[in-house]
């Protein structure tokens, strides 16, 4: 079996004490590589450091997360992207869960980052929370845009809209949660060739390790649940999601 974790924040300080062991366990779980998204330039540089330390194991992405609209800087992001050291722009998106006052700002910042994605021909890693009402209209302004809806929280209808636009859907530990029937329906509906898997470490640990710090090796619980939903062997699903991740992010390892 071989697989990829398409989203893990391994630079997080929660890994400072035992990062090497975490990486060792990831390798023992047959994880071939890990995509490391960031939320601003500072975390992107931490992601790059991991990428330098473990070439062909970590692949860094850079972008401004919707939580912190004040940090956004178009020129700075453009300059980072010109270094050609990133495989994607992310994570970026819309998050209406906490603060509804910054919705317009979030939309504007997302559009600017979509412009940069087209300029640099990179996929986008989307974080969308309570904002499915707006995201599709914005995507439709950028027909050439491609990428993934990370840590998918929508149901079948939202999945349908995502797939119509050619995007991938990444499932996380959420599909193991008791109250996530909607997300499981979306997983059931999504064709295998459009599915990615992720941990979103250190967040969102899957059952049966829910509540603990999440780490890439726990991805096996996400895969097991997903293979149950899809009625396919775990190792086959692992290979398919690995190859989907490689083709989305244009990774050859």
* Binding interface with Zn ion (CB under 5 A): 200
Q: Mapping DSSP to helix (H, G, I), strand (E, B) and coil, where does residue 148 land? A: strand
17 Cβ neighbours under 8 A, 6+ residues apart: none
Q: What minimum distance in Å lies between the beta carbon of 90 and Zn ion?
A: 8
Q: What minimum distance in Å lies between the beta carbon of 7 and Zn ion?
A: 6
Q: What minimum distance in Å lies between the beta carbon of 91 and Zn ion?
A: 5
Strands (E), the chain: 3-5, 31-36, 58-62, 88-95, 124-129, 147-149, 168-171, 195-197
Nearer to Zn ion, 200 or 230 (CB): 200
Nearer to Zn ion, 36 or 230 (CB): 36
d(CA 150, CA 128): 8
d(CA 154, CA 247): 24
Q: Mapping DSSP to helix (H, G, I), strand (E, B) and coil, where does residue 195 land? A: strand
Q: What minimum distance in Å lies between the beta carbon of 232 and Zn ion?
A: 26
Nearer to Zn ion, 171 or 230 (CB): 171
Q: What minimum distance in Å lies between the beta carbon of 193 and Zn ion?
A: 23
Nearer to Zn ion, 88 or 230 (CB): 88
Nearer to Zn ion, 32 or 200 (CB): 200
- In terms of Cβ atoms closer than 10 Å to its own Cβ (0-12, 13-18, 19+), residue 34 is buried
């Amino acid at each position: 079996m071989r697989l990829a974790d398409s989203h893990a924040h391994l630079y997080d300080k929660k890994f400072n004490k035992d990062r090497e062991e975490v990486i060792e366990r990831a390798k023992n779980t047959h994880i071939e590589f890990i995509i490391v998204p960031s939320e601003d330039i500072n975390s992107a540089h931490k992601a790059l450091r991991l990428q330098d330390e473990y070439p062909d194991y970590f692949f860094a992405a850079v972008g401004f997360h919707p939580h912190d609209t004040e940090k956004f800087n178009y020129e700075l992001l453009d300059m980072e992207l010109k270094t050609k050291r990133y495989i994607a722009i992310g994570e970026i998106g819309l998050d209406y869960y906490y603060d509804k006052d910054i919705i317009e700002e979030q939309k504007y910042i997302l559009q600017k980052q979509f412009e940069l994605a087209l300029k640099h021909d990179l996929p986008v890693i989307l974080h969308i929370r309570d904002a499915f009402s707006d995201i599709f209209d914005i995507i439709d302004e950028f027909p050439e845009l491609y990428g993934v809806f990370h840590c998918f929280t929508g149901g079948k209808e939202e999945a349908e809209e995502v797939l119509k636009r050619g995007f991938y859907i990444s499932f996380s530990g959420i599909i193991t949660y008791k109250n996530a029937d909607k997300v499981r329906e979306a997983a059931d509906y999504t064709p295998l060739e459009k599915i990615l898997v992720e941990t979103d470490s250190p967040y969102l640990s899957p059952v049966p390790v829910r509540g603990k710090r999440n780490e890439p090796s726990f991805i096996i619980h996400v895969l097991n649940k997903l293979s149950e939903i899809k009625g396919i062997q775990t190792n086959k699903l692992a290979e398919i999601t690995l190859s989907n991740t490689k083709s989305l992010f244009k990774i050859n390892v």
